[in-house]
Amino acid sequence: MPALPIRRRWFSWCLAGAMGLSTGAQAVVTSPDVSTNDDRIMKQALDAARDRRWDDIDQAAIQDHVLAGYVEYHRLRARLATASAAEVNDFIVRHGDSPLADWMRGAAQTRFGQLGRFDDLLAISDGEPSATIRQCYYYTALLDRDPAEAAAGGEKLWHVGASQPEACDTLFSTLQQRGVLTDEDTWERMMLAWENGQDGLVTYLERGLDDSWQRAIDSFDSVRGNYAGVTRVPLDLGPDGEASGALIAAAMHGLTRADTEASLEAWRKIAPHVSLSDERRHRIEHDLAFYSMVRDVDNNQGWVDTTLPRLADADLIELRIRNAVTEGNWPNVARWSEALPPDVRAEAHWQYWLGRASEAMGDEAKARQAYQLAAQDRSFFGFAAADRLGQPYQLQMANTQVSTLQQELTGMLPVVKRTEALMRIGEEGLARSEWYTAAARDTPDQAEALADYAIRQGWFGMAIQTTIAAKQWDALPWRFPAAYRDSFIKWGELNQVDPYLLMGIARRESAFNPQATSPVGARGLMQLMPGTADHVARNLGISAPSTSELFEPQLNIRLGSTYIHSMLERYRGNRIAATAAYNAGPQRVDRWLTSAPREFDRFVESIPFRETRDYVQAVLAYRVIFESLAKQGDTQGVAMLSQAERQGNYDPTLIARN
Residues annotated as catalytic are 509
* Phi and psi at residue 120, to the nearest 5°: -65, -40
Distance CA 653, CA 643 (A): 17
Helix (H, G, I), strand (E, B) or coil at 528: strand
Distance CA 544, CA 149 (A): 58
Distance CA 325, CA 331 (A): 10
Say if CB 324 and CB 301 are below 8 A apart: no
Residue 15: CA count within 13 A, CB half-sphere: 6
Q: Which amino acid is at 237?
A: L
Distance CA 338, CA 354 (A): 8
Q: 27: which strand partners? A: 21
CA 367 vs CA 2, 16, 352, 461, 528: distances in Å? 50, 55, 9, 40, 42
Distance CA 621, CA 476 (A): 12
Total residues found in the chain within this entry: 658
CA 511 vs CA 412, 523, 547: distances in Å? 27, 12, 20
Distance CA 445, CA 406 (A): 10
* Cα dihedral 159, 163, 169, 173 sign: positive
Residue 82: CA count within 13 A, CB half-sphere: 3
Q: For residue 519, what are the contacts with CB-CB under 8 A and spacing of at least 6?
A: none
Say if CB 392 and CB 373 are below 8 A apart: no
Distance CA 427, CA 263 (A): 54
Say if CB 638 and CB 624 are below 8 A apart: yes
Helix (H, G, I), strand (E, B) or coil at 27: strand
Q: How many CB atoms lie within 10 A of CB 52?
A: 11
Q: For residue 203, what are the contacts with CB-CB under 8 A and spacing of at least 6?
A: none
**Could you give the residue ranges of the DSSP H alpha helices within 480-609?**
485-494, 499-510, 530-540, 553-570, 575-584, 586-593, 600-606
CA 506 vs CA 395, 449, 528: distances in Å? 20, 25, 10
Q: 517: which strand partners? A: 523
Say if CB 385 and CB 375 are below 8 A apart: yes
Q: 523: which strand partners? A: 517, 528
Q: Where do the DSSP E strands lie in 597-645?
A: none
Q: For residue 16, what are the contacts with CB-CB under 8 A and spacing of at least 6?
A: 22, 23
